[in-house]
């Protein structure tokens, strides 16, 4: 039953379109400017965006480092606790 439901959901998800298809023109290939980035840069908001991205990545990095340290500490304690249980 679970496999059947999974297959049905996969088939259904293939038929769902998230966006309308727009044709790609030659002007799209020759466009070298990004309007949104130019507007954000001219307003000074691009620096806010870069700052927020840096804060998020530094938070993830700190979290990963602290988790690695905790796991390393537990790994060091694990052999000593298994040796005392075997004796």
The pLDDT tens digits for 13-53 are 776 666 677 787 887 777 777 777 778 788 888 889 899 99
Q: State pTM to two decimals.
A: 0.51
**How many residues belong to the chain?**
87
Lowest mean pLDDT among 15-19, 55-59, 70-74: 15-19
Q: Indicate if the alpha-carbon torsion angle 40, 46, 48, 52 is positive or negative.
A: positive
Across the chain, mean pLDDT equals: 83
**Any residues with CB less than 8 A from the CB of 72 and at least 6 apart, and which?**
none
């Amino acid at each position: 039953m679970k496999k059947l439901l999974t297959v049905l959901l996969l088939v259904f998800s293939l038929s769902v379109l998230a966006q309308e298809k727009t044709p790609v023109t030659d002007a799209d290939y020759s466009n070298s400017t990004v309007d949104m980035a130019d507007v954000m840069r001219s307003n000074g908001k691009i620096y806010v965006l870069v700052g927020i991205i840096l804060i998020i990545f530094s938070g993830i990095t700190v979290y990963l480092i602290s988790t690695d340290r905790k796991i390393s500490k537990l790994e060091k304690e694990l052999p000593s606790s298994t040796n005392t249980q075997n004796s």
